DNA sequence: GTGTAGACTCACGTCGACG
DNA sequence: ACGTCGACGTGAGTCTACA
């Protein structure tokens, strides 16, 4: 489990819980739709600025997202 | 106050409180010394992976660093 | 609505060297 | 011990287009 994959899983989960599409998230976060797709599948990693933009669009704090990435990683390492 | 500048300030502060040099931090985080210099002065922004590497070298959690960046930004916006 | 591809610009991150 | 410069390879992020 890489950092990128963990972030992608968290992003996908947060977006689903908000009930919006990748297109809407891309619009709200001012990021390209295809880039959101790459992020969710762990093929790209976000910069710090992108994390802040996404968190704002998702209505959560940036540190909360990072916290969940940490949790996802530690949970995966215990398998 | 940009995100990059806020991160740089936090990084510099955390490194100073640990009492180590940029060189040592670069070695511990497996990042180039010149890049640490750029980060601390807000001329570059880190990727998510870099944040994790730096936080590990500094002995704090990644989410804690991000949290402090948020605090620094909100404190600066109230001036 | 999403995955994928190509092509593109610019920023990340490394390296060697000098003040 | 740090700032800075130039150069370099790779990756972030955009855009158009098709399944």
CA–CA separation, B7 and B36 (whole Å): 11
Which of the four pLDDT bands, split at 50, 70 and 90, describes residue B78? confident
CA–CA separation, B29 and B31 (whole Å): 5
The rounded mean pLDDT for chain A is: 97
- Distance in Å from C3's C1' to A44's CA comes to 14
- % pLDDT > 70, chain A: 99
For chain B, what are the domain ranges?
A: 3-77
- Please state whether strand D lies within 7 Å of residue A35 at its CB atom: yes
| pLDDT (mean) for A21-35 | 98
CATH 3.90.960.10, domain A3-77, yes or no? no
CA–CA separation, B6 and A27 (whole Å): 25
CA–CA separation, A54 and A51 (whole Å): 5
Judge whether residue A78 has pLDDT over 80: no
Which of the four pLDDT bands, split at 50, 70 and 90, describes residue B77? confident
- Distance in Å from C8's C1' to A32's CA comes to 15
CA–CA separation, A69 and A72 (whole Å): 5
**Chain A, chain B: beta-carbon pairs less than 8 Å apart:** 54
Residue B69: its pLDDT value, please?
98
Tell me which chain B residues have a C-beta less than 8 angstroms from the C-beta of A66.
48, 51, 62-63, 66
What is the reported pTM? 0.94
Judge whether residue B79 has pLDDT over 70: no
Give A36→chain B minimum CA distance, Å: 15
């Amino acid at each position: 489990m890489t950092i990128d994959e963990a972030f992608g899983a968290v992003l996908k989960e947060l977006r689903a819980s908000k009930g919006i599409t990748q297109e809407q998230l891309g619009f709200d976060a001012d990021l390209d739709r295809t880039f959101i797709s790459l992020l969710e599948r762990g093929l790209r990693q976000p910069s710090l600025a992108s994390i802040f933009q996404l968190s704002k669009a998702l209505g959560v704090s940036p540190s909360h997202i990072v916290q969940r990435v940490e949790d996802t990683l530690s949970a995966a390492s215990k398998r």
